[in-house]
Amino acid sequence: MRFRDWATRVMLIFFMFAALILAVFIGGARQMKNHNAASNPAVTTWSQYPQAQLQSTITTEEKKVNLPKSPVKTNKTNKINLKYATTAAFAKYRPNLAKAEVHSSNYGDRFATDVNGVVFNNQPIIVIHETSNSASSAINFFQTPHDDENVQASYHALITLDGTVVYLVPPEKRAFGAGNSVFEGVNGLETVQTNSTLPPSVNNFAYHVSLETPADAWGQNDIQGHSGYTNAQYNSLAWLIAQSQVPDDRITTHRAVDRSGQRADPKSFDFDKFFNLLHSYRQLRTVDTARTN
């Protein structure tokens, strides 16, 4: 056998083996991808929470209904919708904005079903917290990997003593802001279990925002009150929440939703002051739309 024929056969066998190995690799990759897609439960996202405005504040304006210029022979019924719109006071207030990355172990997806596969559709709530220590301490904790599911924690946003709004977890993700927790609203008790090893919680339909604890109370978890929060914090909190469509009666606190008996935050919170500011930053407007039957 001539050397050229022998080399040709060797090359042919080599390419055949290479093609076989490549086919096996691609098949395994596809199988792994399909497995991952099947093992991940369906997730849901929310559009009613405050979105991160890192570049500039955005004033929500009512959408105008474009009416036809000439009569159209259709049967229309008017539908009145109420929508929150931000005000001139909101536009004038400009807090400092910042962003900090949170380690992926400390937050997750929002699920469409619970651990038993039951579909649920809780409307969003907003839960107000406090850090119990400095803002930097809380952020450092959120940026630290945690394998223990009982330790994992995060907020969607944090407001420092000087009023800076620090965006942490995107609103479409599930922050681990509350453990064993239940929201009591007009629809009764609301809670969802998404992890079979942990108690049910409000995390799946909650937006968690925390106020930095005043320095005189750092590390003192056993106290019932402290010097309170700064005017800048109240203004920034109201400014942040004014961007949402979450109604007043679905804005709550960690103390109110907690079922572990261990959470009492936010301490010394002035609800009247907060809601007065919130109502000055957003107002309900009617949007009259025509629906064709």
pLDDT, tens digit, 9 for 90 and up, residues 229-258: 999 999 999 999 999 999 999 999 999 999
Tell me the pLDDT tens digit for each residue of 74-103.
455 556 688 999 999 999 999 999 999 999
Domain total for the chain? 2
User: 225 and 274 share a domain?
Assistant: yes
User: 218 and 139 share a domain?
Assistant: yes
Domain of residue 149, CATH code:
3.40.80.10
Strand partners, 211: 130, 159
Asked if the model's pLDDT at residue 117 lies above 70, the reply is: yes
Spatial distance between the Cα atoms of 83 and 289, rounded to a whole number of angstroms: 12
Query: Residue type at 248?
Result: D
Task: Report if residue 60 sits inside a domain.
Answer: no
User: 24 and 94 share a domain?
Assistant: no
Spatial distance between the Cα atoms of 27 and 281, rounded to a whole number of angstroms: 56
Higher per-residue confidence, 121 vs 274: 274
Task: Report if residue 114 sits inside a domain.
Answer: yes
Within 13 Å, how many C-alpha atoms sit on residue 9's CB side? Answer: 5
Confidence of residue 116 (pLDDT cuts 50, 70, 90): very high
User: 109 and 171 share a domain?
Assistant: yes
Q: Which residues contact 91 (CB under 8 A, 6 or more apart)?
A: 57, 59
Per-residue pLDDT, 133:
93
User: 270 and 128 share a domain?
Assistant: yes
Task: Report if residue 18 sits inside a domain.
Answer: yes
3-state SS assignment for residue 104: helix
Per-residue pLDDT, 46:
58
Higher per-residue confidence, 45 vs 9: 9
Spatial distance between the Cα atoms of 173 and 207, rounded to a whole number of angstroms: 9
Spatial distance between the Cα atoms of 229 and 226, rounded to a whole number of angstroms: 9
Range of the domain at 136: 76-289
User: 33 and 80 share a domain?
Assistant: no
Asked if the model's pLDDT at residue 70 lies above 50, the reply is: no
Higher per-residue confidence, 14 vs 255: 255
Per-residue pLDDT, 252:
98
Least confident of 41-50, 146-155, 162-171, 195-204: 41-50
Alpha helical stretches, state H, 59-112: 88-92
Asked if the model's pLDDT at residue 11 lies above 60, the reply is: no
Nearest Cα residue to 178 out of 188, 193, 189: 193
Residue 138 and residue 117 in contact, taking contact as beta carbons nearer than 8 Å? no
Higher per-residue confidence, 57 vs 290: 290
Query: Strand 125-130 to strand 206-211: parallel, antiparallel, or no bridges (unpaired)?
Result: parallel
Asked if the model's pLDDT at residue 56 lies above 90, the reply is: no
Higher per-residue confidence, 264 vs 158: 158
Spatial distance between the Cα atoms of 103 and 116, rounded to a whole number of angstroms: 28
Tell me the pLDDT tens digit for each residue of 32-45.
333 332 233 444 44
User: 156 and 220 share a domain?
Assistant: yes
User: 11 and 127 share a domain?
Assistant: no
Query: Residue type at 64?
Result: K
Per-residue pLDDT, 81:
84
Q: Which two tokens stand for residue 175?
A: 């922050």
Query: Strand 282-292 to strand 76-86: parallel, antiparallel, or no bridges (unpaired)?
Result: antiparallel
Average pLDDT of the segment spanning 135-148:
97
User: 261 and 122 share a domain?
Assistant: yes
User: 9 and 108 share a domain?
Assistant: no
Least confident of 15-24, 105-114, 264-273: 15-24
Spatial distance between the Cα atoms of 10 and 237, rounded to a whole number of angstroms: 73
User: 120 and 265 share a domain?
Assistant: yes
